[in-house]
Structures are given as structure tokens and as C-alpha cells.
Amino acid sequence: MPNLRRSPSSTHFELPVQVREDVQFEDVLEGLKLHDRGYDEAFLRSIYEFSRQTHGEQVRRSGRPYFTHPLHVAFILAHLGFDETCVAVGLLHDVLEDTLAERQEVADKFGEEIAQLVDGVTKIGRHSYVRRDQAQAETFRKLILASAKDIRVILVKLADRLHNMQTLEHMPVESRRRIARETLEIYAPTAHRLGMSKVQGDLQDLAFYHLHPQEFSELRNQIQQKVKHGRQATDKIRTHLVSLLTDAGIEAEISFRVKRFYSIYQKMRRQGIDPSQLYDYIAFRIVTPSVRDCYACLGVVHQAWRPVPGRFKDYIAMPKPNLYQSLHTTLVSPSGEPFEVQIRTREMDLIAEDGIAAHWRYKEGDSEPTETDQSFSWLRQLLEWQKDVQDPRTFLNSLKIDLYPDEVYIFTPKGDVFSFPRGATPLDFAYKIHTDLGHHCVGARINGKLEPLRSELKNGDIVEIVTNPSRFPSRDWLSFVATSRAKTKIRQWLNTEQKQRAIEIGKRLVERELKKHKVGIKRFLDSDSLVEYLTAEGIARPEDLFASVGYGKWQDLRPTHAEPGPDE
């Protein structure tokens, strides 16, 4: 169970995550030492002093010095196992946004790399936009694009959000709810994408607490009672597991945990049940030295208890996009209650808990994703897709789609596997493979059977796309595709096609008007006065002028920009 403490919030419920209030600079260094991270103490101390002095007398809503916030962020990053640069940026992450410090000053003192990372974490100023949601969307756009170039940007932001959520009770109620919703929609799914399950769980439970304090408190109390009353049965299962694996000669560490409150809450809502009907709220974990031992353990537990049909998942053979690997199975106890068992190696366990943090330690802290880093591929894709999306709010909506964690795994006929959000269609699959394949898609063979484009793909489907080079996207496609890549590519094609038609219509209208005045189109386009006019109006090319005419934006087509001449 998470550690609990009394919250000063007006709701009088206890926070689901313990918060340390006495963090010191030395605690940050201890975190770096804990994970064997090398660091320059003098360099970090100079950053610590600069941040502390720059924030000066600023205070948080709690009344505590503002500098305690960046110090906590650095503490979180250090104890997650990230490097000296990440920790340094954690200490500095608010100086450009909330103090008089300038980017160049940070670069001069601590280097361009740190200045660039601090700038990546800094919000877009609200004054640049009329509406809050516009500023928020552009901030997320900037954050994600900066993270696609250097993953440490999003790591610092996640630590920043985690500490802000831990101290959110001091904010007004409406602000708490807005920030909690934002956390559930963006930050917790981002942590999931990076495999950071502990951070994800903390963010979700804290958001749940602030959005639904009454439901949170009731659920927590009922789960605590279930754990207390079921402790004897839980210990009996664990003892039996130890005995079984010892007899089988399998070395293993066996533990159990209570599932996260928000995860339980979601399951109850999906199934329409209340806590009294909830049974599999505990998961046993078996950690072994090798993959071979994992499958041997699976055989042992399936012989000892009856497995629940359809509840076995092999994430070792088919890892999740965030690098998560484990065997999951649900078994039925002698009393008839189901319980979950997760089986994994020690390395898999580290990555399952810490995600990119564990991956980072194995990779020696490389900042840029490589082609083999599957957990970062979505960031690279976002970097590519954003070129086609100009409106930041559209980008944010696309981002929410891509962060949706409920996934299915689909195969090509050659055996390649791709992950998609639940609800994806053959069109999403086609656009994932190649843009042209999507543009000319007319159907799909799913498991050998011809199916329409609207078909929803199921886990394990084998999909082969059927194309016709004379067929092109339809606006109707936007109503059923599920991925942002497909939506973006379809909109891009439709916009290009619409503009091309407008250009053709506009050019015909201009030519018809020119003909009335005996002005040839070539003379019209070559005239200096037209070039000057287009420049003054901010129109880049004659094609853009034709498009404006085609869209009906010009009412007066009298040719004032060329002298009459022979038709050409």
C-alpha cells in the first residue's frame, strides 16, 4: 500500500503519496550516489546556489520558500536514477519562467546544453494567447517537440508535475481540478509511455484524489479492509508459491502488492461493480534469474491453480512499446476468488518499475532516442507529424489520442508486429506502414478474410491491405480512424486536394475576367505591378492568389495590374 499522511486540504482526506518536506541539497547527492551516477559536486552546488538566489524571496501558495520546489524536483530526478544534467535542469527548470534570469545568462554560466533543456521545459507565456487552452496547447506542443530532440525535457517535466501534484492541496479547488484532469490526460499517460509505472501510478492516484476525494477515500478504506481481512489467505498463497517453486528447483523472489487505487477505480467503472464485488485487487510477483525460469514458473502455477481463460498475456514474447516485459496470468484460489500472478526476470522487473530510468542506466544516459529504442518511437513520430499540424489545439488532441494506453497488437503477413490504440481500423494500419498505402487503401484482408475499412482490429489480427491506385482519401474516413497519424495524413491530403481545386477554379475565373479586358494570362502574371501587389498583400505566389479567388475571397476581379495586350 502507498504510504499515507494527513493532508491539510479542506477535504480532510489523506494524500495517496507520501511527501518529504525536509529535502536538502545533500539528499539530492545521495540519490545520485544511490544509482552510481557520477557527478561534479562543485558544479551542482553552483547551480543550486544560483537557483536559490534567483528565486530569492518568492514563496509558494503553501507559504514555503519557492526554491523548495525545484529542489524537490531535483531530488525526484536523482532518486529515479537520472544523470547530473537532468538534476541540474531540475534545479533550474523555473528560472526562465518565474525569475528575471535570461536564457543567455544560464548558457554563459552552465553551458548551452543545460540552457536548451531549461528552455524546453519553460511554458509558453499566457500573454501570447487570448485563451488559456491555446497557451496550454502550445506549451504541450513545445514540450513534446523539445522532448523528441532530447528526452530529458519530458523527464524533468514529469518530476515537476509529480511534486506539484504532491503539493496541490494549497491551490484553489477549480485550479486543482483543472490540473488533475490535465495530469490524467497528458502526464500520467506520458509516464506510462516511458515505462515509468511508479511515477504513472503516483500521478494517477493524486489526480484521482483531487478530482473525486469522496470516492477516493471510500475506495481506499474498503481496499484497506479487504487487505486486512484477506491477509491470511494472501500469506497462504505466497507460502504455497514458495513451496512449489522450491520443489521445482526454481530460484525466485516472491512478493505481492495491492493494485493502484486509480487502476482499481477504472476497472470498477468499466465492469459496473462496487468494491464489495472486487476480488483481484492483489497481484503476486515472481522475479527469476532467466527467461527460461519465467516459463517454468508459469507451468508450475498453472498446474497448482486453475487459470482463468482469456486472462493470460505473454509480454515477454511480445513486449509493450514502452519496453515492459512480463508474463501475466489470473488464477482461481481454492476459495473461488481470482488472483493475478506476474512473472518476470530481474532486469524486466527494474524496467517495469522505472522504465526509461532503468533503460537509461543500462544505456549510460544517452539523451537522444535511437532507431532501436522502441519506447521513444512515438516521440519521433510526433516530431514528424507536427509539421502537418499548424493549430496547437489540434496537435494536443492528436497527442491525447497517441497517449491512450489501451493497445492492440497487429501483425503483417510477414510477421512484423505493430501496436495500435483499441478501436483502430485497417486504415490506421495502412497509414502506419506508409502514407501512400493509406491514401490508396480500399479494403483489407483480416486473417485471410476480406473486410471493410471500418472494421475494428482485434488483438493478434493478421492484416493485409488491399489498394487501388485510382482511389483516394474521403472526408468520411476521418469519422472512424483512431490514430493521429491517419487523421493528420488524411486531413493533409484533403487540404491539398481542396486547395488544388480552388487554384484551378480561381485560375479559370481570372482568365475569364482577363479575356473580357483583352489581357493575356502570361502578361498578367509577368507584370511588375502584380508582383508588387502580391508582396504588399502577403501572398507568396500567383497560385495562392488563384486559390483565394477559387475560395470566393475576391469579389472584384478587374485586372488593375496589367496593361491590355494581345491574348496569349
- Domain boundary assignment for the chain: 5-211, 219-358, 374-487, 491-550
Does domain 219-358 bear CATH number 1.10.3720.10?
no
Catalytic residue among 98, 119, 280, 544: 98
119 part of the active site: no
Q: Which CATH number fits domain 374-487: 3.90.1150.10, 3.10.20.30, 1.10.540.10, 1.10.3720.10?
A: 3.10.20.30
Neighbouring C-alpha atoms within 13 Å toward the C-beta of 402 = 29
pLDDT of residue 415: 78
Report strand pairing: 338-345 vs 441-446. unpaired
A 10 A CB-CB count for 219 gives 20
- Residues 6 or more apart from 180 whose CB is under 8 A from it? 165, 168, 206, 207, 208, 210, 211
Q: Can you state the angle between helices 84-92 and 103-110, rounded to 10 degrees? A: 150
**CA atoms of 71 and 21, how far apart (whole Å):** 11
pLDDT of residue 349: 92
How far is the CA of 357 from the CAs of 77, 353, 535, in angstroms? 9, 9, 52
pLDDT of residue 564: 43
Q: Based on the number of CB atoms within 10 Å of its own CB, is 481 exposed (0-12), middle (13-18) or buried (19 or more)?
A: buried
**CA atoms of 46 and 73, how far apart (whole Å):** 17
DSSP reduced 3-state for 563: coil
**CA atoms of 196 and 189, how far apart (whole Å):** 10
Give the three cell numbers for residue 495.
Answer: 487540404
pLDDT of residue 270: 78
Whose grid coordinates read 540552457?
A: 115
- Residues 6 or more apart from 318 whose CB is under 8 A from it? 409, 417
Catalytic residue among 14, 97, 119, 353: 97
Whose grid coordinates read 482526506?
A: 13
Work out whether the CA dihedral 411, 417, 422, 428 comes out positive or negative.
negative
Q: Can you state the angle between helices 542-550 and 528-537, rounded to 10 degrees? A: 70
How far is the CA of 58 from the CAs of 67, 78, 87, 94, in angstroms? 8, 24, 21, 12
Quick check: do 5-211 and 374-487 share a fold?
Answer: no
| H-type alpha helices, 122-230 | 132-149, 152-166, 173-182, 188-193, 197-211, 213-229
Whose grid coordinates read 551542482?
A: 44
Q: What is the DSSP letter of 168?
A: G
Q: What is the pLDDT of residues 100-138, one digit of tens each?
A: 999 999 999 999 999 999 998 886 554 444 466 676 777
pLDDT of residue 175: 92
- Residues 6 or more apart from 128 whose CB is under 8 A from it? 135, 138
Q: What is the pLDDT of residues 278-324, one digit of tens each?
A: 777 889 999 999 999 999 999 999 999 999 998 899 999 988 877 88
**CA atoms of 77 and 156, how far apart (whole Å):** 7
- Fill in the amino acid letter for 474: S
97 part of the active site: yes
**CA atoms of 268 and 212, how far apart (whole Å):** 14
Topology (CATH level 3) of domain 5-211: Hypothetical protein af1432 (1.10.3210)
**CA-angle at 385, arms to 379 and 389, nearest 5°:** 125
Those residues of the chain that have pLDDT short of 70 are: 1-19, 123-133, 135, 359-406, 523, 526-531, 533, 537, 540, 550-568
